[in-house]
């Protein structure tokens, strides 16, 4: 077996052994088309107050600037579909945040992944990323043959839908590259567009991030949520899953095998009254390893008050 073929087999096997659901590989090259699309999106102000999206523009579209000599971009998918959902008529949390913070979980896996590759291949250069660095992970996933980008902006995989995290490893390894995903199976469906409570999903696969409920409940931090959004949040207190809940492809979603993503009992069972009675100390203790800590206690309380204003409280 030639070294490139052998190294590719090692990569795929290591990904499987670490519990990743899918692994695809693309050639590392500058993303000129994505650069134009991202620039237009930023110019239209669709990133809202997320000023970090404006920084490191060149790094986002050229993997060789992140890893000099980069030859391959490895994309890994990790399913987070929970085995149980929250009780009804309570403040809603996006499913990806039910369990342990995915940044912690996937960073550990990526570190082990790189270690495994070096153990079996030798000295390689590579950097792993998970949703916290200037990497266009959905584009690389599509180029790696793992799915297509839906109208809601999420990567969709025909086998498991869209409830998964995307991790990226840029490396100087020369590997066999998978064929890009050429089909788009959204067709004429517009369920996500029609269902979006704030009309953030626009035609032509453009999502106005400045209108997204996830933006308001997570990214806006300490600022006041605009009054014109009152009554549009559908009880979402952290993130939003509406566009994924209505997506027909998520009927294929299967519960995750990753134990770290098992739901916290409090997220599944807290009533509105219990959320509102939560002290800051209790919040820090319960959610110390949860994505909810990103909004902090003050942010969650602000969101709770916004979706359940005075006079609209749960009575039991």
Convert the pLDDT of each residue in 183-210 to its tens digit. 999 999 999 999 999 999 998 888 888 8
Please, what is the end-to-end C-alpha distance for the chain in angstroms? 67
At 65, the pLDDT band (50, 70, 90 cuts) reads confident
Higher pLDDT, 51 or 286: 286
Question: What share of the chain has pLDDT > 70, as a percent?
Answer: 86
Average pLDDT on 257-283 reads 97
Span 4-30, average pLDDT: 96
Confidence of residue 239 (pLDDT cuts 50, 70, 90): very high
Q: How many helices (H) and strands (E) does the chain have?
A: 13, 10
Q: Which residues are catalytic, by number?
A: 131
Confidence of residue 172 (pLDDT cuts 50, 70, 90): very high
The strand pairing partners of 126, in sequence order, are: 171
Whether 56 has a pLDDT exceeding 90, the answer reads no
Backbone angles phi, psi at 72, to 5 degrees: -135, 145
Beta-bridge partner residues of 78: 165
- The pLDDT-based confidence of 221 (bands split at 50, 70, 90) is confident
Per-residue model confidence (pLDDT) at position 315: 40
**Which residue range forms the structural domain that includes residue 304?**
1-316
Cβ-based burial of 5 (10 A; exposed 0-12, middle 13-18, buried ≥19): exposed
Tokens of 241: 């899953």
Predicted TM-score of the model (pTM): 0.91
The predicted structure's pLDDT at residue 316? 39
Based on the structure, what is the number of domains in the chain? 1
Q: Tell me the Ramachandran region of residue 224: left when phi exceeds 0, alpha when psi lies from -120 to 50, beta otherwise.
A: beta
**pLDDT at residue 250 is higher than 90:** yes
Nearest CA to 165 out of 95, 85, 72, 213 is that of 95
Average pLDDT, the chain: 90
Of 269, 225, 25, 222, residue with least CA distance to 140: 25
Q: In this structure, are residues 307 and 237 in contact, taking their beta carbons and an 8 Å threshold?
A: yes
What's the mean pLDDT in 285-289?
97
**pLDDT category, 134, cuts 50, 70, 90?**
low
Most confident of 29-33, 77-81, 128-132: 77-81
Model confidence band, residue 104 (pLDDT cutoffs 50, 70, 90):
very high
DSSP code, position 289: T
pLDDT at 201 (0 to 100)? 95
pLDDT for 311: 41
d(CA 160, CA 164): 8
Of 141-155, 212-226, 274-288, minimum mean pLDDT range: 212-226
Distance of alpha carbon 236 from alpha carbon 213, whole angstroms: 8
pLDDT at 308 over 90: no
């Amino acid at each position: 077996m030639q070294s490139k073929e052998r190294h590719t087999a090692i990569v795929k096997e290591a990904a499987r052994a670490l519990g990743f659901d899918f692994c695809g590989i693309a050639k590392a090259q500058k993303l000129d088309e994505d650069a134009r699309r991202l620039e237009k999106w930023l110019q239209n102000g669709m990133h809202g107050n997320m000023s970090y999206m404006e920084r490191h523009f060149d790094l986002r579209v050229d993997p060789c600037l992140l890893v000099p000599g980069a030859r391959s971009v490895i994309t890994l998918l990790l399913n987070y579909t929970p085995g149980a959902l929250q009780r009804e008529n309570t403040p809603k949390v996006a499913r990806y945040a039910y369990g342990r913070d995915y940044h912690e979980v996937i960073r550990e896996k990526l570190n082990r992944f790189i270690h495994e590759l070096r153990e079996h291949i030798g000295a390689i250069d590579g950097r792993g990323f998970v949703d916290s660095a200037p990497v266009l992970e959905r584009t690389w996933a599509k180029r790696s043959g793992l799915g297509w980008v839906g109208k809601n902006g999420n990567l969709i995989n025909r086998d498991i839908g869209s409830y998964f995290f995307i991790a990226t490893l840029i490396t100087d390894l020369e590997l066999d590259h998978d064929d890009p995903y050429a089909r788009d199976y959204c067709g004429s469906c517009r369920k996500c567009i029609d269902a979006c409570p704030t009309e953030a999903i626009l035609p032509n696969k453009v999502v106005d991030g400045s209108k997204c409920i996830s933006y308001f409940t997570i990214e806006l931090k300490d600022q006041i949520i605009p009054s014109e959004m009152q009554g549009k949040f559908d009880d979402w207190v952290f993130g939003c899953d509406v566009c994924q809940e209505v997506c027909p492809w998520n009927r294929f979603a299967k519960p995750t095998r990753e134990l770290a993503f098992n739901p916290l009992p409090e997220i599944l069972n807290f009533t509105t009254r219990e959320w509102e009675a939560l002290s800051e100390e209790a919040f820090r203790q319960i959610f110390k390893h949860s994505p909810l800590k990103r909004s902090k206690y003050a942010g969650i309380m602000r969101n709770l008050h916004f979706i359940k204003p005075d006079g609209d409280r749960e009575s039991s």
